[in-house]
Amino acid sequence: MLKIVDLHHRYNFKEVLKGINVEIKRGEVFVLIGPTGAGKTTLLRIIDQLEYPTSGRVYFDGKEILTSPGLRLKIRRRMAMVFQKPVVFNATVFDNVAYPLKVRGYRRKDILRKVGKMLEMVELKGYEKRNARKLSGGEIQRIALAQAVISDPQVLLLDEPTANLDPLSIDLIEKLILDFNKKQGATIVMATHDMSQGERLADRMGVLMEGKLIQVGSPREIFYNPKNVQVAQFTTRNNILKGVVSQNENGITYVDVEGKIIEGVSSFQAGERVYVCIKPEDITLSLSKSRTSARNLFPARINLMSFSGPLVEVELRCPFPLLALITRRSAEEMQLRVGQKVYASFKATAVHIIG
């Protein structure tokens, strides 16, 4: 459906997209994942014809979209985009949702019917006469979605559609997106930085980092076989704990965190307030107090376990909160359960102390 060939884009002397090559199949849900500033928005905008790339080509259904002027409008009308911070027109909800139909010249009767149906779908029935600007964030997002979907686009582009929304709204919008994909057969290209959302919705995912499309594949592939450290890192979180240095012996720093001592390497002196950072993947869990070379070993209780792809996030209480990341395999082998007592250990060298 969409083919992007060798796309480069330079903005303000900075290369924002570096050689993007990807093919998105008809009817699939393709999720672009990556940190903020990676270039996801730019890529979507280029596909939606709102920007011209510095070089490269984009094909829509086999036709090149960026050089055929007559075709451009037609193709643009077969796509729709929901922006990150949607802006609605200063008009009624009805006028807003009817807009795409109006510009395409639909008859009043059809507009009335379609808008009514659409408002019902996004659960905004009864809002027709209200001024769209005065609604809440979630409601505005639903209007934006309604606007995008009402013209029955073949490709729906979404840029972080659920950022800053409450869980109920997120649920509704995700449901609508999937509905639209399944019922209308629309191709969905969605950008998000929420890994779990990507996993829930995607048929395939593309990891975009610093302008490069590092890996493309099913969510499973990406979790089990991250192409490089960066991908792996992006899909995880970090531990940051507050504490006070109690002692420093030749660089070995003892930090008091909620009564327990964490050993790390730094030049901070006694009495200084510091932050202790530990990557979840550097934490090892074991069922017994086995002899390890790690200088940090704490008994802990499992509070929560969330399965995220090939990994499991284990939230621990030591009593300070700690997030460990272990493979599903290990979790299964150890038969970890919520409430279980385990031992968390990590090397002093894995502890980053910052001021």
Using rule CB under 8 A, residue 103 touches other proteins: yes
In this chain, which stretch among 70-78, 255-263, 281-289, 338-346 interacts with other proteins, using CB under 8 A? 70-78
Q: Within 10 A of 310 (CB to CB), how many other CB atoms are there?
A: 17
The only residue of 2, 148, 255, 351 in contact with other proteins, by rule CB under 8 A: 148
Site string for other proteins, 198-227 (x = CB under 8 A): ------------------------------
Comparison of 75 and 209: residue with beta carbon closer to other proteins:
75
Binding range to other proteins, per CB under 8 A, among 43-51, 183-191, 238-246, 331-339: 43-51
**Between residues 128 and 315, which has the closer beta carbon with respect to other proteins?**
128
54 binds other proteins (CB under 8 A): no
85/134 with CB nearer other proteins? 85
Cα(206)–Cα(71) distance, rounded to whole angstroms?
A: 28
- Residue 29 tokens read as 């849900």
For other proteins, which is the closer residue by CB, 99 or 298? 99
Nearer to other proteins, 57 or 76 (CB): 76
- How many C-beta atoms lie closer than 10 Å to residue 227's C-beta? 14
DSSP type of residue 27: T
Determine if 86 is a binding residue for other proteins (CB under 8 A). yes
SS3 assignment, position 157: strand
- With a CB cutoff of 8 Å and minimum separation 6, the contacts of 328 are 307, 310, 311, 312
Q: Is 287 in the site for other proteins (CB under 8 A)?
A: no
Nearer to other proteins, 86 or 206 (CB): 86
Q: Which is nearer to other proteins, 122 or 205 (CB)?
A: 122
Q: Which residues make Cβ contacts (< 8 Å) with residue 266, sequence separation at least 6?
A: 248, 251, 253, 274, 353
For residues 74 and 68, what is the distance between their CA atoms, to the nearest angstrom?
A: 10
* Interaction of residue 55 with other proteins, rule CB under 8 A: no
User: Which strands, in side-by-side order, build the sheet including 212-217?
Assistant: 79-82, 155-159, 187-192, 29-33, 204-209, 212-217
Q: Is 99 in the site for other proteins (CB under 8 A)?
A: yes
Task: Report the amino acid identity of residue 133.
Answer: R
Give the chain's length.
355
Q: Which residues pair with 262 in a beta bridge?
A: 255
Give the binding range for other proteins (CB under 8 A) out of 53-61, 80-88, 191-199, 323-331: 80-88
Rounded Cα distance between 125 and 286, Å, is 54
The residue within the footprint of other proteins, chosen from 68, 90, 228, 349 (CB under 8 A), is 90
**Residue 147 touching other proteins (CB under 8 A):** yes
Q: Helices H, strands E: what count in the chain?
A: 10, 20
Dihedrals phi, psi of 244, to nearest 5 degrees:
-125, 135
Find the shortest distance in angstroms from Cβ 77 to other proteins.
4
Which of 25, 26, 104, 113 binds other proteins (CB under 8 A)? It is 104
Q: Which two tokens stand for residue 69?
A: 């002027």
Contacts with other proteins, residue ranges (CB under 8 A): 45, 48-50, 73, 76-77, 79-81, 83, 85-87, 89-91, 95, 99-100, 103-104, 147-148, 151
